[in-house]
Structure 1
């Protein structure tokens, strides 16, 4: 009886408690809305690669994200030290499953996907907005291709199990999966990538509303290979370089994005939205193609293009979000000297060149 008496309350006290509960519930709802507002409304983010021996520590990295005004960050692989530093920082986070992790996460016998989620996502759900989980990075046409679909399926099942439908699941692919890109209206997947791409895209389309495909797009590589002119690569052309039906293309990024959309549409998957998973320009490592001035021109124009929420010539009403690659130079990144100099910042925390992160209010 004593226990029962302890929890009795008068009608007045009961109403007070109800009002307090409602107020607390409302505050929690507002808090949750604030946490997700970054992911919902900020279009531009930055990639954080860690293929270096002298990358600044996570706390310093977060300070630099704030200093330069980035509200979204894409971690190319899971990183608990970085996640801890991002707690309550009002920065939306995209987490990648590294290619070498895919075989483990793809295992259908052991619940490795659940283990990965419990270690890298679940502890942080209430502490930061988590926007995407990215299954691999340019894993298609690599030795890890076969693991992408089972890893994706397993992660989707785990998110359903924990009722985390607000986190989008996607993959990041490069333009190498396309057979044709010119003109954009002829975009089509390569014969050897078509089946796996269609299966991936169907899984993405069937998972939830507003499905997303991440595409890594680097006009720099086309220019360095002698395929396109510098002004078309860097958003500085004075006239269209491609005329495709009723559409004129002033820059390579838009042309490649519309080639992807055409390839999707051919497979009846045109409702999938594109996000630029990574795009940037190196400031050194490949002679005249990689000067600080060129890197500043491309990256400044790319970031400006993203925050303006522009569509593409063929799809002007579909804004493209995107991530600039990368926050830091990475002295151990494979691919050659140029690949080690994509950073906006040097690892001593100084800018590789002058830049400003544009925002709607600037």
Structure 2
């Protein structure tokens, strides 16, 4: 708290480059680059989440053109066929050990040494290549540092190898990490990776940087958590400040999201990885579960402002020429999440009604 307060004063790209080059046999010739920068996350940790067909209808109703599936799901993928919605496919943390199998080279040249990764690709990606724009494969979600972190890098490399084998260069491979991998965030220009995460983060980032053009790191950013912990002001958390709150060299910060993103950019710069772009993999605000910190009005304010900020394709104070894409979390409330606010991040209740009034901005 003291460290943050020290730097807080009350006084005053690349666009998505995964373009589909060939005409698709189904008649779709849509480039992922044509889609808005804003998407929505779809989690399935609920006992009463609407079925896939209804979910797609709701995506259309509210105007979302991109969706991030937090786990691979054939039923959802089937419902997204020919829907003109760009899809990011998540690999859940518990799937990482299977996909991280060590390649075997003792069975002859006919043997696929990346069998499990190949099976995953043939199940969840290959059948849909010509039927929808697939933007990202996201390896794990906040797996660093956790019980699945040791499997993250080998799983990622195996998936990359399979995509190379099938010449699927238009699909980006990334990982999603939380702000907990940072050791210092204030001021943003001093952002660094935490000592305990630096080695694996650098290895992950080097693999991403060496895979394809326009490498991307997804970062899950939740200013709500900083406000609920008493670390930042509400207006700074919800994009509502009327003047800059943090002054860092020549950069002024009016909201926490930009400050955290620039802390990541600083950490990347310190590791000589400045070519990696950032995408907000998930960000949102719960509408219940933690008293005055989680009212529908606060959730509406944050999520509306976050979505508007993404649609405007803005950069950050330190990286103004790098527009930030992002996904709002989440489409539905999820009653199988741990009790409290985690169950109430949905824009919609599972009965398909809005948790509060919101509009998805278009520009």
From the two aligned structures, give the one with the greater helix fraction: 1
Q: 1:6 to 1:128 in 2, by over 3 A?
A: farther
Q: Are 1:47 and 1:324, in contact at CA under 8 Å, matched by a contact in 2? A: yes
Change in 2 beyond 3 A, CA 1:126/1:98: same
Aligned residues: 349
The 1:81/1:191 distance shift into structure 2, 3 A limit, reads: same
| Distance (Å, rounded) in 2 between the aligned partners of 1:250 and 1:297 | 15
Helix, strand or coil at the partner of 1:326: coil
Partners in 2 of 1:15 and 1:49 — Cα distance? Answer: 23
Deviation at 1:235, TM superposition (A): 0.2
Tell me how far 1:68 sits from its aligned partner: 0.2
**C-alpha distance in 1 between matches for 2:44 and 2:117:** 23
Structure 1 gap ranges (5+): 29-35
Change (3 A) 1:73 1:25: closer
Cα distance between partner residues in 2 of 1:254 and 1:3: 18
- Checking the alignment, whether the CA contact within 8 Å between 2:13 and 2:323 is kept in structure 1 is no
Structure of higher RCO (CA pairs closer than 8 Å, 6+ residues apart)? 2
Task: Give 1:312 shift.
Answer: 0.2
The offset of 1:42, in angstroms, is 1.4
TM-aligned CA deviation for residue 69 of structure 1: 0.2
Partner of 2:345: 342
Give the CA deviation at 1:17: 32
Q: Does the CA contact (< 8 Å) of 1:39 and 1:72 recur in 2?
A: no
Moved more, 64-73 or 326-335: 326-335
3-state DSSP of counterpart to 1:202? helix
For 2:271 and 2:14, how far apart are their aligned partners in 1? Answer: 62
Supply the RMSD in Å over aligned alpha carbons.
15.4
SS of 1:27's partner is coil
What's the offset of the Cα at 1:37?
Answer: 2.7
Report how far residue 334 of structure 1 moved: 2.6
Alpha carbons 2:337, 2:343 under 8 Å: kept: yes
Supply the distance in 2 between the matched residues of 1:154 and 1:334 (Cα, whole angstroms): 32
Deviations 1:197-245 (A, max 9, x none): 0000000000000000000000000000000000000000011110000
Contact 2:347–2:356 (8 Å) recurs in 1: yes
- Report runs of 4+ in structure 1 exceeding 2 Å deviation: 1-28, 36-41, 334-337
- Report if the CA contact (8 A) 2:300-2:356 is conserved: yes
Q: Work out which of the two has the higher radius of gyration on C-alpha atoms and give 1 or 2.
A: 1
Q: Deviations over 1:261-308 (max 9, x none)?
A: 000000000110000000000000000000000000000000000000
Q: Does structure 1 conserve the Cα–Cα contact (< 8 Å) formed by 2:15 and 2:33?
A: no
Matches within 5 A, 1:223-238: 223-238=227-242
Once the 2 structures are TM-superposed, how far is the Cα of residue 139 of structure 1 from its aligned partner? 0.2
Which is further off, 7-16 or 213-222? 7-16
| Cα displacement (A) at 1:336 | 3.3
| Residue in 1 that maps onto 2:108 | none
Q: SS of 2:247's equivalent?
A: strand
How far off its partner does 1:26 sit? Answer: 11
What secondary structure does 1:274 align onto? strand
The change in CA–CA distance for 1:2 and 1:149 in structure 2 (over 3 A counts) is closer
How much has 1:18 moved relative to structure 2?
Answer: 27
On the 8 A contact 2:62/2:359 being kept in 1, the answer is yes
Contact kept? 1:38, 1:72, Cα under 8 Å: no
| Inter-partner Cα distance in structure 2 for 1:297 and 1:14 | 27
Provide the secondary structure at the position in 1 that maps to 2:44: coil
CA distance change for structure 1 residues 121 and 239 in 2, over 3 Å: closer, same or farther?
same
Aligned twin of 2:93: 99
